Amino acid sequence: MATSIVDAQSILAIDLGSVHTRALLFDVVEGQYRFIGSGIAASTANAPFRDIGEGFFRAVLNLQEKLGRTLIKDDRLILPSREDNAGVDRLVAAYTAGPELRIVTAGLLTDVSLQSIQRLAGTVSGQVAESLSLGDRRRPEARIDAVLQAKPDLIIFGGGTEGGAGRSVFKLAELLILVCRILPQEQRPHILYTGNQALARKIQEALSKWTTVHIAPNVRPGIDQEDISPAQEVLAELVTDFRKKQLGGMQTLADQCSAVPLPVSHAMGRMVRFLSRAYDPQKSVLGIDIGSQGVILAAAQDGRLNLAVAPYGLGSSARRLTEPALIEEINRWLTIYTPPELLRDYLWQKSLYPASIPGSAETLAIEQAMAKVILRRSFLQAKAENPDLGEVFEPILAGGSIFNQAPTAGEALMMLLDGLQPVGVSTVILDKHSLLAALGAAAEVNPLLPVQALESSAFLNLGTVICPYSPARYGAPILNVRVEYEKGNESRMEIRQGTFTVLPLKNGQTVRLHLEPLRKTVVDPTGQRSANSFKITGGLCGAVIDARGRPVPLPKDAARRRDVLKKWKQVLSG
């Protein structure tokens, strides 16, 4: 593994999305790694191309044109670089491209091993189509048929604490062998075993006669002990193996890479975990990325990562938002009147054309409302499944085309505030170039690169948000704020419950805030800022005091609600 700048200088990271392929170049400038630029092209994973190579080539070509630096010769990436600085030294990749994975989970007890396995399955982009457990009262053949009907690409199974159950695990394995025997070889799912390790060798011997089997450490080593992190790494490898066979050009790309390509969720998780070690150990670092197929939430506190991929996306999976309750929720966040029927049609159409972008004010409003609902729903779901997800986040890193394409930074921040509804004090950062996953993929090749690239200006600071929690009634004063500027001058303001206020700081301007909470108002639930006096740095939107309350209360009357939403938007957009 390279650890010095001399070992590996320029690194090209490829982000193979389901809609776009991005090529991101990092190189050493004045002794420090910097993000140099990015190229983008439409993904070619799908028909009629069915080969990611074309999209990869186009993205690199686009990067070459933008930078005026030779990266390609004779239709091939120059790797390693030449003496004239043409080409790159290393290539790494992360991906979300490919049809949604269909996963079957199998464990012994529903609320023990199966729960941990479900959580493990939830760290990759896919759909859990069937689950088996000891409590399953169906006859064996009915369970076999259920698995066959699920058409799994991947089966994750386990059970038994270390030194625990054996017989029941073997019974599950027998059932899976029968499934494999029924299916033609090319349709047999890959299997990940992540149960009692004392049985691992026998399980591998028995199942590997029929399909590809990976063994991962036990996700439930003790009845009250869960550890899915080691298994996550093996799962990532397995998914990559599967994609190499499924996606045209993936094997060729992987052969050129200096490290095994990673699912974007895992690459992002790696970076968020890394950042959590550098930030306040009392708070969690939160990384989110809304894609076409799903949303990735990676939260880590002091090196402990919680990773979840929720199946709500803004593209091919948009039709999952057509449940009446979700349509109603989207409607509640719309600034423009839109009949529910029109919204339903829009979501279906968006699923057909996931790469399409909002072409009018109305459709932009719909997609921004969709993003808020996706964030809210996914965040609450992840929190219900992982109570350790954290309360207060510092920083919040957000990526995804809905944020990057937002006409103003204020609109991007508004989506994040309404969707996540954070509490406490957080810095909100926009990953404008989708660097987080690229840096996670590059970290294995050169750990120095993410450290130095993060310090560069490749990420956009949207602003510091202060979200006090107060039981006070609407309109009551909850916070006295004194802003102390660097030149010594001051300004004061009174914050009332239900308000949304921008402190007009310039991007990069640092000030000291002195907060005086009133009426049992809590500024920082972690209790870290007990002095209520701290420095903040302004971002593109300055700094924001979001005293609207949690959850954000929206007026029931539709017309009034739209007025309120417009007013909040106006506050941020200036």
Q: How far is the CB of 317 from other proteins (least distance, A)?
A: 12
Nearer to other proteins, 141 or 455 (CB): 141
Q: How far apart are CA 409 and CA 468, in angstroms?
A: 22
Nearer to other proteins, 356 or 533 (CB): 356
In this structure, the number of other CB atoms found within 10 A of the CB of residue 375 comes to 26
356 counts as binding other proteins under rule CB under 8 A: yes
Binding residue for other proteins (CB under 8 A) from 3, 252, 405, 533? 405
CA distances from 400 to 186, 375, 393, 406 (A): 34, 12, 19, 10
End-to-end CA distance of the chain: 49
Q: How far is the CB of 148 from other proteins (least distance, A)?
A: 7
23 counts as binding other proteins under rule CB under 8 A: no
Angle between helices 113-121 and 229-246 (to 10 degrees): 50
360 counts as binding other proteins under rule CB under 8 A: yes
Q: How far apart are CA 228 and CA 68, in angstroms?
A: 45
359 counts as binding other proteins under rule CB under 8 A: yes
Q: How far apart are CA 149 and CA 116, in angstroms?
A: 23
39 counts as binding other proteins under rule CB under 8 A: no
407 counts as binding other proteins under rule CB under 8 A: yes
| DSSP label at residue 189 | P
Part in contact with other proteins (CB under 8 A); list of ranges 79-87, 134-142, 416-424, 547-555: 134-142
Q: How far apart are CA 461 and CA 456, in angstroms?
A: 12
Residues in the chain, overall count: 574
Q: How far is the CB of 145 from other proteins (least distance, A)?
A: 6
Two structure tokens written together for 336: 């423009």
210 counts as binding other proteins under rule CB under 8 A: no
572 counts as binding other proteins under rule CB under 8 A: no
3-state class of 3 per DSSP?
A: coil
163 counts as binding other proteins under rule CB under 8 A: no
In this structure, the number of other CB atoms found within 10 A of the CB of residue 110 comes to 14
Binding residue for other proteins (CB under 8 A) from 36, 41, 250, 389? 41
User: x/- binding map, residues 46-75, to other proteins, per CB under 8 A?
Assistant: xxxxx---x---x-----------------
Binding residue for other proteins (CB under 8 A) from 85, 208, 349, 570? 349
558 counts as binding other proteins under rule CB under 8 A: no
User: x/- binding map, residues 296-335, to other proteins, per CB under 8 A?
Assistant: --------------------x-----x-------------
Q: How far is the CB of 102 from other proteins (least distance, A)?
A: 13
Locus of tokens 């990559």: 240
Binding residue for other proteins (CB under 8 A) from 205, 345, 494, 557? 345
Angle between helices 140-150 and 167-182 (to 10 degrees): 50
Binding residue for other proteins (CB under 8 A) from 76, 111, 138, 182? 182
Contacts for 566 with CB less than 8 Å, ≥ 6 apart: 335
Nearer to other proteins, 95 or 379 (CB): 95
Binding residue for other proteins (CB under 8 A) from 99, 166, 311, 517? 99
Q: How far apart are CA 111 and CA 108, in angstroms?
A: 9
Instruction: State the Cα angle at 3 between 454 and 272, rounded to 5°.
Output: 35
Binding residue for other proteins (CB under 8 A) from 355, 380, 476, 522? 355
167 counts as binding other proteins under rule CB under 8 A: no
Q: How far is the CB of 357 from other proteins (least distance, A)?
A: 5
- Which string of DSSP letters, residue by residue, matches 67-108? HT---EETTEE--S--TTS-S-SEEEEEE--SSPEEEEEE-S
Q: How far apart are CA 276 and CA 286, in angstroms?
A: 9
**Is there a contact between 235 and 228 (Cβ–Cβ < 8 Å)?**
no
Which residues are at the interface with other proteins (CB under 8 A)?
A: 41-42, 45-50, 54, 58, 98-99, 139-141, 144-145, 148-149, 174-175, 177-178, 181-182, 316, 322, 341-342, 344-350, 352-353, 355-364, 405, 407-408
